[in-house]
């Protein structure tokens, strides 16, 4: 019983980190129709900036998260203008795949040049570094914090997309870019804003999830496939789909590692194949 609870809790925390990072990628892929394998690299940039601000600069945890988000978005925006814009909606997905793999390689190389190849930690504040007693059992407070972040982001995004005028314009642009443009929506601005939002969320996820997904230069490559898989399983562009997929795959992966550690990610990918076979367009695909 205790083991089960602890697995469930870890799985939930891991799934939430996956969700926070992947939701940006999902929105981006739904809107710009770009398969962005460099998304993990942006999460890594956010994590590294946060670790630098909270560590050597000593500004504290919350400013570190804020700096990580803003810094990653600032680094990513010129890349969107210079590189991504040329491959939006490319008919051959391999063009996007290869360009973003190339970008990932460059970011890994640069990160190693700036920070070295050793693993980086983000020092946690006392409030979330200890254990918390939930009555049934004690759990690390950080895990609770991550889960809370995931819930807040899911509901915040839902509100942003379903209830605000930005959300209306975003959805219109997703459904029909040409028509939205004709109606006066500045679609290139929507693209830029969405890209910044997606990168910001990735950076946030990379920073808060650093305890669960450790930061080193190969982070971008190690989780590249995982993020892509979550988005694909959930269905690009769907918040609900990404949430369900992240939690489900997080659960499968964590359980698999606990119960059959020798099998590595075997069950994770078995689940992926099964889901893609049954739901080729994603678990909850928007409007389909």
Query: Min. distance of Cβ 33 from other proteins in angstroms?
Result: 10
Query: Min. distance of Cβ 123 from other proteins in angstroms?
Result: 26
Query: Min. distance of Cβ 142 from other proteins in angstroms?
Result: 29
Dist CA 54 CA 129 (whole Å): 14
Question: Which of residues 9 and 268 has its CB atom nearest to other proteins in the complex?
Answer: 268
Question: Which of residues 45 and 233 has its CB atom nearest to other proteins in the complex?
Answer: 233
Specify whether the CB–CB gap between 46 and 157 falls below 8 A: no
Question: Which of residues 74 and 95 has its CB atom nearest to other proteins in the complex?
Answer: 95
Question: Which of residues 8 and 270 has its CB atom nearest to other proteins in the complex?
Answer: 270
Cα–Cα distances in angstroms (integers) from residue 72 to residues 66, 231, 235, in the given order:
10, 21, 25
Dist CA 101 CA 125 (whole Å): 35
Query: Min. distance of Cβ 29 from other proteins in angstroms?
Result: 8
Q: Report the relative pairing of strands 138-140 and 131-133 from DSSP bridges.
A: antiparallel
CA 151 to chain centre: 14
* 3-state secondary structure at position 103: helix
Query: Min. distance of Cβ 110 from other proteins in angstroms?
Result: 7
The torsion defined by the Cα of 84, 42, 281 and 270, in degrees rounded to 10, comes to: 140
Question: Which of residues 165 and 262 has its CB atom nearest to other proteins in the complex?
Answer: 262
Determine how many CB atoms are found less than 10 A away from the CB of residue 10.
Answer: 20
Question: Which of residues 19 and 204 has its CB atom nearest to other proteins in the complex?
Answer: 19
Determine the straight-line distance between the first and last CA of the chain, rounded to whole angstroms.
40
Which residues of the chain form contacts with other proteins (CB under 8 A)? 29, 35, 83, 86-87, 92-95, 97-99, 101-110, 112-113, 117, 217, 225, 228-229, 232-233, 236, 262-266, 268-270, 272-273, 276-277, 280-281
Question: Which of residues 119 and 270 has its CB atom nearest to other proteins in the complex?
Answer: 270
Which of 151, 126, 215 minimizes the C-alpha distance to 12?
A: 151
List, in sequence order, the alpha helices (H) in 33-176: 39-54, 61-82, 93-115, 126-129, 141-163, 165-175
Query: Min. distance of Cβ 284 from other proteins in angstroms?
Result: 15
């Amino acid at each position: 019983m205790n083991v089960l609870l602890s697995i469930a809790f870890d799985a939930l925390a891991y799934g939430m980190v996956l969700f926070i990072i992947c939701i940006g990628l999902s929105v981006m892929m739904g809107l710009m129709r770009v398969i962005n394998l460099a998304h993990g690299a942006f999460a890594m940039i956010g994590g590294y900036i946060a670790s630098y601000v909270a560590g050597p600069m000593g500004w504290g945890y919350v400013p570190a998260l804020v700096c990580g988000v803003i810094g990653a978005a600032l680094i990513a925006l010129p890349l969107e203008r210079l590189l991504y814009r040329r491959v939006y909606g490319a008919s051959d997905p391999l063009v996007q795949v290869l360009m973003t793999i190339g970008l990932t390689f460059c970011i890994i190389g640069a990160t190693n040049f700036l920070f070295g190849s050793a693993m980086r930690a983000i020092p946690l504040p006392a409030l979330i570094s200890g254990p918390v007693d939930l009555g049934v059992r004690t759990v690390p407070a950080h895990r609770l914090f991550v889960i809370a972040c995931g819930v807040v982001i899911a509901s915040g995004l839902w509100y942003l997309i379903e209830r605000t005028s930005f959300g209306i314009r975003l959805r219109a642009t997703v459904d029909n870019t040409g028509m939205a443009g004709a109606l006066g929506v500045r679609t290139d601005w929507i693209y830029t804003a969405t890209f910044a939002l997606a990168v910001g969320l990735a950076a946030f996820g990379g920073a808060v999830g650093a305890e669960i997904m450790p930061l080193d230069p190969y982070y971008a490559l190690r989780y590249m496939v995982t993020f892509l898989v979550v988005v694909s399983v959930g269905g690009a562009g769907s918040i609900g789909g990404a949430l369900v997929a992240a939690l489900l795959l997080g659960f499968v992966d964590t359980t698999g590692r606990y119960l059959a550690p020798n099998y590595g990610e075997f069950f994770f990918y078995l689940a992926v194949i099964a889901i893609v076979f049954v739901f080729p367009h994603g678990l909850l695909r928007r409007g389909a």
